[in-house]
Amino acid sequence: MKPIVAFFLFIACLTPSFAQETEYNLLPFPAQFAGGEGHFSIQNSTQLVYNLKDIRQKQAVLLLADYLKSAAGLTLKTTAWTAAAAKGKNIVFQAHTQKKCGPEGYVLRVFTDRVLVEAETAAGFFYAVQTFLQLLPTDIYSPKKITTQTSWNVPSCDILDKPRFSYRGLQLDVSRHFMPVSFIKKYLDLMALHKLNTFHWHLTDDQGWRIEIKKYPNLTKIGSKRAETLVGQYYQNYPMQFDGKTHEGFYTQAEIRDVVNYAKTKHITIIPEIELPGHALAALAAYPNLSCDPKKTYEVATKWGVFEDVFCPNETTFKVLQDVLTEVITLFPGKYVHIGGDECPKDAWKKSEFCQSLIKKLKLKDEHELQSYFIKRIEKFVNSKGRVIIGWDEILEGGLAPKATVMSWRGVQGGIDAARQKHDVIMTPNEFMYLDHYQGDPNTEPLAIGGYLPLEKIYGYEPVPAELTAAEEKYILGAQANVWTEYMPTPEKVEYMVFPRAVALAELTWMPKGPRNFEDFSYRLKNHLKRLDHVGVNYSRRLFDVTA
């Protein structure tokens, strides 16, 4: 097809559409897409021509070159822009400034005689390359050179793409089960492949403190190890079994820096979570004076669930938590620090004379307001360092901290309430966004925490609650799926639970609002799974192949 014809076709087809053809197995599917006729064929003589502003933009070009080299064995020349090279049968990367597609968007136009990639930012070019790779045969993801594939063709198409939401998140709980750095990097790779841009790293909880804090070495010396774990017993209803293993592990600050830098190359921001005032047993085992009853002995939890012993709102605790957050903030450059705030029983505060007199002194109504006082003090400190707190939706109780962003997890109501109070919101309701829930029949699936979230259900989730007005809607920054690891002792099990459901998450946070077609998604997914096979992902095969 001639470029001019393709251009008019492009304009005519600028409406969200679904892929009908086998060759457009794009996930997430682009915002605006038009298929064309014929294909661009990549040869050894094809050049990667760039007219780019900065080194990070150029990295996207090098990334494409790497894939073509390692999987296809094609060594393409990368060359700075010249009029002649830009007119040749080449792939041309060009920075544009027309503000067409926003901070993460791009234009990708595949003609039979050249390819044009345009974006405003390095992230835009990175996502353009991700899409371009998905237009190639799935073998392009092979870590080894493919000898059976003789041609590397890209079907003609015109794409103008940008995400619906600026926040497209995936969480991982490394407290219940520690996951090695190598796996965290793989997780980030997989997120990037699906254009997810925020990794929420749940680093502390009752069952383990996983981040080195130089000023308080016992947090990891004591808090990162636990005795034999009782698998099961989440609240009262779940089966119990001993796994007979001790569990330990933490990330040194050098490792954290390495992971943060790695994430940056994938255009992923990491949000660290330091849980407070609840889910704090590992910290209390290390430093009992952070509790309301320092004479008691505390142990890193060996059961799942919610525990009565929590941080005490005394000055020692605030001092220590501020020191901890200071180190955390120097390690993580992103805007947000997640401070937890969920599931904090008030029993210990009710029993504590100190807390009761504090409630009187501060003229508070009850322990909920005391929790709100706790969070507000922490927020003030975090804000003083130029950062913003995120908290689970319990932080609405007793009064929301003035600048907090809310993660709505117990349902959608927390998100609705926060948006109405003009607070930013990330939607992560457990009914739709919890990847620790069963994805298939609990009788045949490996043990999970309960709940039922099949692929079709997550795919159908609409992150903006219908109750919100247009003015309130803008507070919904996006959505996130959570991966709590009580029943995921290994990276393999995490992969099994996360994929392919995270692919659905990617599409629902990226594609424009409107009806999503599960059949079409499933069709594209089937081919997409070949990519995941190349990357070595232990996705849940049995959902797709009963003989597996």
Query: Given the rule CB under 6 A, which residues bind ligand TNX?
Result: 342-343, 392, 409, 434, 436, 449, 484, 486
Residues 6+ apart with CB under 8 A from 215: 323, 324, 327
The neighbour count for residue 108, using CB atoms within 10 Å, is 23
Instruction: Give me the least distance between CB of 43 and ligand TNX, in Å please.
Output: 51
* Residues contacting residue 180 through CB under 8 Å, at least 6 positions apart: 249, 491
16 versus 451: smaller Cβ distance to ligand TNX: 451
Would you state the structure tokens that stand for residue 315, as one six-digit string? 């000055």
- 274 versus 449: smaller Cβ distance to ligand TNX: 449
Q: What secondary structure does DSSP assign to 20-42, as a single string? A: -STT---SSPPSEEEEEEEEEEE
| Dihedral (Cα; 312, 318, 321, 322), 10-degree rounding | 170
> In the complex with ligand TNX, which residue's Cβ is closer, 484 or 539?
484
Q: Distance between CA 195 and CA 165 in Å, rounded?
A: 11
- How far apart, in Å, are the Cα atoms of 30 and each of 8, 57, 129, 162, 168? 18, 20, 13, 7, 15
Q: Is 327 a catalytic residue?
A: no
Cβ atoms of 381 and 325 within 8 Å: the answer is yes
Pick the closer one to ligand TNX by CB: 88 or 450. Answer: 450
Whole-number Å distance between alpha carbons of 271 and 407: 13
Q: How many CA atoms lie within 13 A of 67 on its CB side?
A: 25
d(CA 322, CA 382) in angstroms, rounded, equals 8
Contact 245, 225 (CB under 8 A): no
Closer of 212 and 273 to ligand TNX (Cβ): 273
Considering beta carbons, is residue 34 or 449 the nearer one to ligand TNX?
449
Buried b (16+ CB within 10 A) or exposed e, 466-476: eebeeebeebb
The residue (of 475 and 484) whose beta carbon lies closer to ligand TNX is: 484
Give 423-451 as a DSSP string: --EEE--HHHHBTTSBSS-TTTSPP--S-
Distance from C-alpha of 280 to C-alpha of 300, rounded to nearest angstrom: 9
- Residue of 343, 369, 431, 445 with catalytic role: 343
Pick the closer one to ligand TNX by CB: 298 or 392.
392
272: preceding bond cis by omega (within 30 degrees): no
Distance in angstroms between the alpha carbons of the first and the last residue of the chain:
42
CB 122 within 8 A of CB 57: yes
CA 281 – CA 287 distance, rounded (Å)? 10
Just list the catalytic residues. 343
